[in-house]
Chain A
């Protein structure tokens, strides 16, 4: 999963606050100096606020990054675990199919061997009967 972590580096609300105060007091020249001073203070305060905000954001981002790092590490572990498991099950599948192939081979060979035995039996009876028929006065074997 991906998370949105980008932050705006110069807070928009700082710019907005500064500009609105400037606009509001621009007309009254008498208070101009006071304004400038208070504006300057305001600016400093806001600046500090922004700095704090940025620091907070950075801390957030860092925490976020730390979190992500943990998640990546966990994912990496998961990948390793799955890869190992897959390898293992592939090996299992291979050994099962090896077993099946061997069973098939044995079945085929076994059936072939039985065929051979059955045919031999037919031939042996044929030979016995041939011999028996050559013996004088012999009864048929069966």
Chain B
């Protein structure tokens, strides 16, 4: 793989060329099979006076790697020398020869939040009230007809501004590089493209993301449904964690030790409550209330608020049907939590799942506390703040509760 960046008026354009051994098909780190469509994309930074192309080459290399990793088989050649640490991270993580090598390692001091508008990233925002938001906004690709126009990227951007926080919106068409399964990130880490390209300018030394305990520790992101301390995407010492750290922008998961019930409680209890959105399909770009995600989030919210389920979806509806089948379910720990805490669950479409799972308040107590190793993973300069927040607002897991995490999916 050969990678070439050009810069013109706040826009970074990437072109990559496949080496003979490279392929148009590949696999995302989460296991998803992928197919490449085209080899150019752009990242548009907000207009700024006097911005030049002087970005550390490791940052450019990591952005490029988030869109080229699945297709690269043996080596990757960047258009400017990278640091030895970055080359080593690429070699150790993916077995590829990366070069040329010849840059110093970079570092920064500030933390930015990768903002999506969902409850998880709002909980992160509540923990770091002064950290700026960087929001990735999808735009059309000049070479790809956009057949997915209903995607409401403008709404999330508007909500981001409404939070009153320091918001930087970065636009990119890189999701259209993918032909299969649909437009989306080749690797989940591509969402950090804006943070990477602005890291020098904003003096960033970390990028905070909203991945919670299910994604980080319970195998939820890779659909493996078991304890994943070595998660290749989100563990600090995994291949991606090491790569970002080598570029001086370690991934920080402030809510990596708590469940979605807790991120929901934190987000809805924060001043950003009105800007929380997990679905944009409904009227006024609010939650539609009828999709699978809305149903899942409603179960969690009802559980957090200890109130009956409020939904029109029935067991025979398309999104309701899967809850009539036996487990495993995606996000199963949250289904257990919902079943244990929603009054009258036996009269809802989750009645069957409740029978299968036999969850109780006692058996789901661990989901109300923070898994301490998740705090240990946070880079030192931000660890204390997360630790204090968790102790004050959530509470740490007992040994027994932590064992529930560590034996998840084993039986």
Contact A125 B18 (CB under 8 A): yes
Chain B neighbourhood of A126, CB < 8 A: 17-20, 22
| A32 at the binding interface (Cβ < 8 Å) | no
| A111 at the binding interface (Cβ < 8 Å) | yes
Point out the residue from A123, A133, A142 that lies within 8 Å of B24, measured CB to CB.
A123
Contact A119 B145 (CB under 8 A): no
Q: How many residues of A contact B (CB 8 A)?
A: 17
| B299 at the binding interface (Cβ < 8 Å) | no
Chain A neighbourhood of B20, CB < 8 A: 126, 129-130, 133
- Known contacts A115-B179, A119-B24, A119-B37; decide if A129 and B17 are in contact (CB<8 Å): yes
Chain B neighbourhood of A129, CB < 8 A: 17-20
Contact A114 B24 (CB under 8 A): no
| A14 at the binding interface (Cβ < 8 Å) | no
Question: Across the A-B interface, how many residue pairs have beta carbons closer than 8 Å?
Answer: 46
Point out the residue from A111, A125, A142 that lies within 8 Å of B147, measured CB to CB.
A111
Contact mask for chain A residues 118-142; partner B; CB cutoff 8 A; 1 contact, 0 none: 1101110110011001000000001
Cα A108 to Cα B20 in complex, Å, equals 31
Contact A114 B17 (CB under 8 A): no
Q: Which residue of B lies closest to A140 (CB)?
A: B2
Cα A133 to Cα B24 in complex, Å, equals 20
Report the minimal beta-carbon distance from B367 to chain A, rounded to whole angstroms: 43
Contact mask for chain A residues 65-99; partner B; CB cutoff 8 A; 1 contact, 0 none: 00000000000000000000000000000000000
| B348 at the binding interface (Cβ < 8 Å) | no
Cα A26 to Cα B39 in complex, Å, equals 121
Contact B39 A122 (CB under 8 A): yes
Q: Which residue of B lies closest to A114 (CB)?
A: B145
Chain A neighbourhood of B391, CB < 8 A: none
Contact A111 B145 (CB under 8 A): yes
Report the minimal beta-carbon distance from B334 to chain A, rounded to whole angstroms: 37
| A107 at the binding interface (Cβ < 8 Å) | yes
Q: Which residue of B lies closest to A104 (CB)?
A: B147
Contact A119 B179 (CB under 8 A): yes
Cα A139 to Cα B37 in complex, Å, equals 28
Q: Which residue of B lies closest to A118 (CB)?
A: B38
| B36 at the binding interface (Cβ < 8 Å) | yes
Contact mask for chain B residues 15-35; partner A; CB cutoff 8 A; 1 contact, 0 none: 001111010100000000000
- Known contacts A125-B17, A126-B17, A129-B17; decide if A118 and B22 are in contact (CB<8 Å): no
Chain A neighbourhood of B284, CB < 8 A: none
Cα A118 to Cα B145 in complex, Å, equals 12
Sample of 16 A–B contacts (CB below 8 Å): A107-B145, A111-B145, A114-B145, A115-B144, A115-B179, A118-B38, A118-B143, A119-B24, A119-B37, A119-B179, A122-B24, A122-B38, A123-B18, A126-B18, A129-B20, A142-B17
Top 10 nearest A-B pairs by Cβ distance? A118-B38, A126-B18, A130-B20, A111-B145, A122-B39, A115-B179, A115-B37, A118-B37, A125-B17, A111-B147
Interface residues of chain B, those whose CB is within 8 Å of chain A, are 17-20, 22, 24, 36-39, 143-145, 147, 179
What 4 additional pairs, Cβ within 8 angstroms, besides A111-B144, A119-B179, A122-B39?
A110-B145, A129-B18, A133-B20, A142-B17
